[in-house]
Amino acid sequence: MTEDDIIARLKENVIQGRKTQQDEGIDEKLSGTPGVVELTRLALEKRISLEEIINALTAGMRVVGEKYSSKEYFIPDMLASAEAVGEAMEILKPLLEAANVETKGKFAIATVHGDIHDIGKNIVAILLRGAGYEVNDLGTDVPTEKIIEFIKKESPDYLGLSALLTTTMTEMGVVIEALKDSGLRDRVKVLIGGAAVSDEYAQGIGADAYCVDGFQAIKVLDSFQQAKTS
């Protein structure tokens, strides 16, 4: 495989949402051929630059976004591609750090204490990882203390909280109060989501944003980034 081949295939496999060689993707012709993970490793072996690899991943993801907007692709397609890109970024992470390249930011996400719903939270995590964020998934039914501890230690830029129950959404307010009490509130932006909550609720508890879904979360985060740079 030439370098150009690797780059072209990387992009194509992002579009196909094929994380590994085993993934079926959409086009049956590709089955059994290397997926994004194998191609990323191969690209590094062949000493293709980090920039070129990331450009290929981003270009693939852009096509996926277009296909989704034009209704050719559905959410599962978007997720598969995002997952593939997320996995590639995981491989590139140590190299990016060594090269002092900044990621878009660290995002910690958790379903709050008392709540075990995680489908929505997982989708958001996959999408954000695919969009270039470094995502730490703390799991479900996460006690507030554990969240605070994590933030103290790892200093993520963002904290995402998910709650699907009216009985557990109050826990989000508890987390925000605890952040204040520990003097961490200014260090992290809090995004909340889940069927139980709303924009008004977010404002009420002092969260920075409410997001209906993962796509909105990407937009909101981008707007935060812009605000930061301007």
Where along the sequence are the contacts to ligand B12 (CB under 6 A)? Answer: 109, 114-121, 123-124, 160-162, 164-167, 191-196, 211, 213-214, 217
Q: Decide if residue 26 touches other proteins (CB under 8 A).
A: yes
Q: Which of 9, 11, 19, 189 binds other proteins (CB under 8 A)?
A: 19
Rg of the chain, C-alpha, whole Å? 19
Strand partners, 135: 107
- 193 residue type, one letter: G
Shortest reach from residue 52's CB to ligand B12, in Å: 31
Question: Inter-axis angle of helices 36-45 and 50-69, to 10 degrees?
Answer: 160
| Nearest-10 Cα torsion for 51, 56, 58, 62 | 150
Question: CB under 8 A: which stretch of 71-79, 154-162, 165-173, 199-207 binds other proteins?
Answer: 71-79
Cα 144 to Cα 113: distance, rounded to the nearest angstrom: 7
Question: CB under 8 A: which stretch of 45-53, 73-81, 145-153, 210-218 binds other proteins?
Answer: 73-81
Q: Decide if residue 212 touches other proteins (CB under 8 A).
A: no
Shortest reach from residue 77's CB to ligand B12, in Å: 15
How many CB atoms sit inside 10 A of residue 139's CB?
12
Nearest to 87 by CA among 57, 43, 107: 57
In the complex, the residues that contact other proteins under the rule CB under 8 A are 17, 19, 23-26, 28, 74, 76-77, 79-80, 83, 119, 122-123, 125-126, 137
